[in-house]
Amino acid sequence: MNNKFRVICFLFVICAILAAFALVSCEKDDSDNTDDGNSQNSGVVYSITYKGVKLTPGGEAKAAVEAIDEEYSYEEVGSCIGDGKDKRYSYTSIRIETVNNDGVDYISAIYVLNDLISTDEKLTIGSPEADIVQKYGDGCAVQNGVYTYTGKDKTKLRVFTKDESVTSIAYLWN
Amino acid sequence: MKKKIFTVVSVTAFLVILIFALFIAQNILMPKYSATHIPDGALTSEYYAEAHIEHDVIFIGDCEVYESFVPAKLWEEYGISSYVRGNAQQLAWHSYYLLEETFKYEKPKVVVFNVLALKYGEPQSEEANRKVLDGMKWSGTKMDAVRASMTEGETLISYLFPILRYHTRFKELEKSDFSAAFGINDTVVSDSGYLIQTDIVPQTTPSSEGAPLMDYTLPKKSMKYLDMMRELCKRNGAELVLVKAPTNSFKYFWYDEWEEQIDEYAEQNGLRYYNFLECVDEIGLDFTHDTYDAGVHLNVYGAEKLTSYFGAILRDELGLKDTSDDAELSAFWQGKLEIYNERKSKG
């Protein structure tokens, strides 16, 4: 009887160890790891106004696209991994890209395409590089001539420069 | 003494039953990669059934490989035996280790690597890792592949014992999970690694511009694995050939800056590099017809055109011979061709 009890205890311990293994392996680190690391996190949500419509990275795309009173060209592509389609709407002066999460399209990026428009802070493609810090402050990460400002709600402003002049402006989400 | 024997026998019997039960449970709980459920997850494991066949060419890389080259067609037109070892988002290190494993089974004359995946310098997703790695047979190579591929939060032990990762799937089990676990209705999804797509979804707006990048330098890590693949091919007497599939979309855009780096790399290392984006017309591709997803990948009609075009290069420039006079090989490929044609006609 004593031996039987020991065997049962031994088997119970093995089962407990296996169960513990299974539980431990389930634990995943869900911490947000999306920040650049170098840039400052300000209280600003970076966004741009186009044709009177405020466009915010991370915002729902459908309403924004419908509100812009201008024709656009349209592309959509599937993904090699995962479901949903990414979409791209190209207007005269901006391009909006979207990602699909659970059936809803969200704005993932807004690109300024030319100098026909300015950002809400009056930065334009072709502006001097010095204007970037003057208009948006020095709370940014700079790498390869690219200024990255990280704002609230996972929004980012990224300004690309070459030869001391702004060449491209992007508003990003995540 | 009797009690001791009883104890030993009981414990041994219990452990054997437990291990067997866990093995069965693991088979049931693991995701089933089949024609109807996540077919692109079956690609890695399907290779082993054909590893005994002599392949002159191994195609290796991401989805741009397994949707672009049709081994059955290459055999039919040129008598060249080949296999595609590709997976969705198969990154440079995945490709390196799959190639290392391939060389343990066979010695191909040519290895064709698609360069798009070189843009990724870090592991991208567990989903992609699982699709590439879960189907690999256990070996030191697989261990190295897992170590090189894991994203944050993934553990080596969950690849060793997938039940640790998938045990929560019991809530979503279907009848097919049980049948597939015991090898019932276990259908092959690919044609020698080529995953057929017969739909036609035209590309209405050809992508001419990708989003601006912070840095156009191809990552050191992926280029290191390209170096390793080059060395591996050299040690095994295979010629490494670089290609870029003829598809371009805003999401998977091929930048001029990357093209320059690959051109330079190929030249410095004496490798052939074929960018099929530059010869779309010559290949005869029509993106209103030859793509199943608006230009991201070729469908079967586009893939056959590209295979036909590249077959001539393999024969004329790389000197691969028609081996259709080999009776055994020919019989094997005849069977494969019939399966492929049937799958294509069913759509």
Q: Which tens digits make up the pLDDT trace of A46-98? A: 999 999 999 999 999 999 999 999 999 888 887 776 667 889 999 999 999 99
B269 pLDDT higher than 90: yes
Where is pLDDT greater, at A23 or B290? B290
> Does residue B110 contact residue B239 with C-beta atoms inside 8 Å?
yes
- Among residues B327, B123, B290, B330, which one has the least CA distance to residue B198? B290
Q: Which tens digits make up the pLDDT trace of A116-160? A: 999 999 999 999 999 999 999 999 999 999 999 999 999 999 999
A75:B250 CB<8 A: yes
B15:A14 CB<8 A: yes
Contacts of B238 (CB under 8 A, 6+ apart): B58, B103, B107, B108, B109, B110, B111
Q: Tell me how far apart the alpha carbons of residues A96 and A94 are, in angstroms, rounded to a whole number.
A: 7
- Residues in chain B, total: 347
A81:B88 CB<8 A: yes
> Does residue B190 contact residue B35 with C-beta atoms inside 8 Å?
no
Q: What is the pTM of this model?
A: 0.84
Q: Tell me how far apart the alpha carbons of residues B100 and B116 are, in angstroms, rounded to a whole number.
A: 20
Find the residue in B nearest to A95 (Cα). B211
B275 pLDDT higher than 80: yes
A22:B164 CB<8 A: yes
A81:B125 CB<8 A: yes
Find the residue in B nearest to A27 (Cα). B153
A25:B165 CB<8 A: yes
- Among residues A59, A57, A62, A58, which one has the least CA distance to residue A74? A62
**Nearest by CB to B89, which of A11, A29, A80?**
A80
Region at B319 (left for phi over 0; alpha for psi -120 to 50; beta for the rest): left
Find the residue in A nearest to B168 (Cα). A26
Residue B321 DSSP symbol: P
A107 pLDDT higher than 80: yes
Q: At what angle do helices B92-105 and B140-149 cross, to 10 degrees?
A: 170
Q: Mean pLDDT lowest for which of B26-30, B32-36, B207-211, B271-275?
A: B32-36
Q: What is the pLDDT of residue B31?
A: 74
Q: What is the pLDDT of residue A17?
A: 63
Does A74 contact chain B (CB < 8 Å)?
A: yes
Where is pLDDT greater, at B161 or A15? B161
B153:A81 CB<8 A: no
Q: What is the pLDDT of residue B129?
A: 93
Q: Which tens digits make up the pLDDT trace of B215-263? A: 999 999 999 999 999 999 999 999 999 999 999 988 899 999 999 999 9
Sign of the CA dihedral running B345, B39, B192, B280: positive
CB-facing half-sphere around the CA of B208: CA atoms within 13 A: 5
A41 pLDDT higher than 90: no
E strand spans, chain B: 57-61, 82-86, 110-114, 239-244, 272-275
What is the pLDDT of chain B when averaged over all its residues? 91
Q: Tell me how far apart the alpha carbons of residues B156 and B245 are, in angstroms, rounded to a whole number.
A: 33
Q: Tell me how far apart the alpha carbons of residues B63 and B95 are, in angstroms, rounded to a whole number.
A: 12
Q: What is the pLDDT of residue B25?
A: 78
A26 pLDDT higher than 70: no
CB neighbour class for B102 (10 Å; exposed up to 12, middle 13-18, buried from 19): buried
Confidence label for B168 from pLDDT (cuts 50, 70 and 90): confident
Q: Mean pLDDT lowest for which of A3-12, A15-24, B53-62, B191-200?
A: A15-24
B interface test, pick of A38, A77, A148 with most B CB neighbours within 10 Å: A77
- Among residues B101, B67, B47, which one has the least CA distance to residue B249? B67
Q: Which tens digits make up the pLDDT trace of B250-267? A: 889 999 999 999 999 999
Q: What is the pLDDT of residue A19?
A: 59
What residues of A are in contact with residue B158 (Cβ under 8 Å)? 25
Where is pLDDT greater, at B82 or A4? B82
Task: Supply A158's token pair.
Answer: 């990224």
> Does residue A72 contact residue A98 with C-beta atoms inside 8 Å?
no
- Residues in chain A, total: 174
> How far apart are the CA of B217 and the nearest CA of chain A, in angstroms?
11
> How far apart are the CA of A60 and the nearest CA of chain B, in angstroms?
19
